Homo-oligomer: A and B are copies of this chain.
Amino acid sequence: MTTTPQAPEPTPGGQAPRRARRADARRNEQALLDAAAAVFVTHGVDAPVRLVAAEAGVGMGTIYRHFPTRAELVVAVYRHQVEALAEAGPALLAEEADPADALRRWAAGFVEFLVTKHGLAGVLGADEGAGALHRYFVERLAPVCDALLDAAVGPLDSGRVPGVMLMRGIGNLSIGGRDGSGYDAARMADLLVAGVLARGSASDAGAGSDLASAAR
């Protein structure tokens, strides 16, 4: 399960490879991926790297050579699920009569993905430049989200919210969506989408925030 269907041995760049990838390297990468997937299910995405290494029967050095940073390991593990989410966008648009419904369903799917892998949502709020995971999400999913928004509330330049921002909003809303509390990430995300649909491209600049006048 969760086996990333890896092309037999794709030429890395465009250059001729000096040597072929070693067998143990390939084996370990797969073991790491499987171990991480297993550990993430039981301990959440915040599981210590050491745990994954141990589960895979591999040293710390190995894990960090294959995945230079924790985040990149997470990316690798969930890559194909993100792919599915990306493909679901156009599909929903084709299937659903009202593009608003397509957007709603896609958002719901996004939330479910984030919330199911507990802790995953947190990375969406990470620093823009840094986090590999954040970058991956955005690059792959933002265009899809934008397409849905285009169809549902019109083009970007009319003042509608950018897809990246909606995604990040939903991502943030999904944080802690499965702890004991009554917090319902899916519901909040749906309300956010409702706001986007209602407000559409009207763009009345919010409400300011001069509470000072009211505070006393």
Contact = CB atoms under 8 A, between A and B. Distances in A.
Interface in A174-216: 174-176, 179-184, 186-188, 190-196, 198-199, 206-211, 213-216
Given A161-B187, A180-B129, A191-B199, A106 B172 contact: no
Interface string A57-101: 000000000000000000000000000110110011001000001
Given A172-B172, A215-B87, A191 B192 contact: yes
B208 A108 contact: yes
A105 interface: yes
Nearest to A107: B207
A36 to B, nearest CB: 23
A109 B211 contact: yes
A213 B101 CA distance: 14
Contacts of A127: 176, 179
A206 B104 contact: yes
Interface of A: 84-85, 87-88, 91-92, 95, 101, 104-109, 111-112, 122, 125-129, 161-162, 164-165, 168-169, 172-176, 179-184, 186-188, 190-196, 198-199, 206-211, 213-216
